Structure 1
Amino acid sequence: MDTTPTLYEWMGGAEALDRLTEAFYAHVRRDEVLAPVFAGMDAEHPRHVAVWLAEVFGGPADYTAHHGGHRHMAGRHLGRGITERQRRRWADLLMDTADEVGLPSDPEFRGVFACYVEWGTRMALIYSGPHPPPVDAAEVPVWSWGRTPPWIPEPDPQPSP
């Protein structure tokens, strides 16, 4: 029997993710770079992001069951035109907020957490851009200790002779 906790369990579960997203989006509302992106943010947005992150980090699959899974999350970014500056600010602010709310600071957890934040924000940039991949092309990625989503190479546009 595997007794290794999931990343979700290690970070403190739903309570920790709720603290993280509530504090984070309070900062976002006041941030000069991010506030315009989230100006019309629904009051439930922080909670929905917490549910997404729970699933991503090995917790309950409630985002898929109740919010539409990856297709919905990817679709929420379509056409938003997120800039690299906004992506980087989002990532930096989330990492700072993780410190603020007391998420575990051990290098193993923070390494995986930072890797997801970097990956996730780059995916948001891609989905918000002019040529996004199909929103139904993937499932919710589940991260674990030493496990990230698989690399899927782009199809070769030129057939080999």
Structure 2
Amino acid sequence: MTTPSLYEWIGGIDALSRLTEAFYQRVRLDDQLGPVFSRMDPEHPRHVAEFLAEVFGGPPFYSQAHGGHPEMVRHHLNRHLSEAMRRRWINLLLDTYTDLALPADPEFASALVSYLEWGSRLAVINSQPGAKVSEHAPMPQWGWGEAKGPYAPGGS
């Protein structure tokens, strides 16, 4: 028996698309985050779903269509995101996740929150003045509660 990927466990691209569509509807209406996403491309929720799919062990949708991790970093440059915005983003996403009744087991929730904490902190760092894109940065890969590959603690 093999352990399913996080992508398989959540329900694949359909579940991730439902999550990101519902989430970004909330974001648009949020007093704190709404202004940040006021000019959001209508395809943004789908792109985020594709990014998460790849990070969680699914097909390389985002890399093939949009250029991988360097392109995601580019979207955050000079956005001046704050810690308060980061926390609000996570809270809205987790509330949406819960409301959609996606997998609620502690192991999956731990892996999901672990990635959201890591990824959102990286987004804040990359949104500050002077941040640069590493053109050869690999796509993050997340497993059951830990980063894999070069993003793992002490990874190579």
Shorter-chain TM-score range: over 0.9
**d(CA) in 2 for partners of 1:152, 1:38:** 35
In the alignment, structure 1 residue 99 sits paired with structure 2 residue 98: yes
Alignment pair present for 1:34 and 2:24: no
Counterpart CA distance in 1 for 2:145 and 2:88 is: 26
Larger Rg: 1
Shift of 1:106: 0.4
- In structure 2, the partner of 1:120 is 119
2:45 paired residue number: 46
Which of the numbers 131, 144, 151 marks the counterpart of 2:153?
Answer: 151
C-alpha contact (below 8 Å) 2:110/2:145 kept by paired residues: no
> Structure 1 residues 118 and 112, CA, compared in 2 at 3 Å: closer, same or farther?
same
Q: Which amino acid aligns with 2:69?
A: H
Q: Size of the alignment, in residue pairs?
A: 152
Distance 1:72 1:87 in 2: 20
Q: Structure 1 residue 130: deviation in Å?
A: 2.0
Which runs of structure 2 are paired with 1:1-161 in the superposition (5 Å)? 3-136=2-135, 138-148=137-147, 149-151=151-153
Q: Distance in 2 between matches of 1:144 and 1:19?
A: 21
> In structure 2, how many angstroms separate the alpha carbons of the residues matched to 1:48 and 1:141?
15
1:102 is displaced (CA, Å) by 1.5
So what's the TM-score if we normalise by structure 2? 0.92
Report the CA distance between 1:62 and its aligned residue. Answer: 1.2
CA distance in 2, matches of 1:58, 1:151: 19
Name the aligned partner's letter for residue 22 of structure 2. Answer: A
Could you give the per-residue CA deviations for residues 23-48 of structure 1, whole angstroms, max 9, x where no partner exists?
Answer: 00000000000000000001000000
In structure 2, how many angstroms separate the alpha carbons of the residues matched to 1:112 and 1:135?
Answer: 25
Q: In 1, are the aligned partners of 2:114 and 2:145 still within 8 Å (CA)?
A: no
Q: CA deviation at 1:137?
A: 5.1
Partner Cα distance (1:62, 1:127) in 2: 22
Q: Is the 8 A contact 1:75 1:135 kept in 2?
A: no
The CA RMSD measured in Å over matched residues stands at 1.5
2:78, 2:37 → 1: CA distance?
Answer: 14
Long gaps (5+) in structure 2: none
- How many Å separate the matches in 2 of 1:6 and 1:18? 17
Shift of 1:151: 3.3
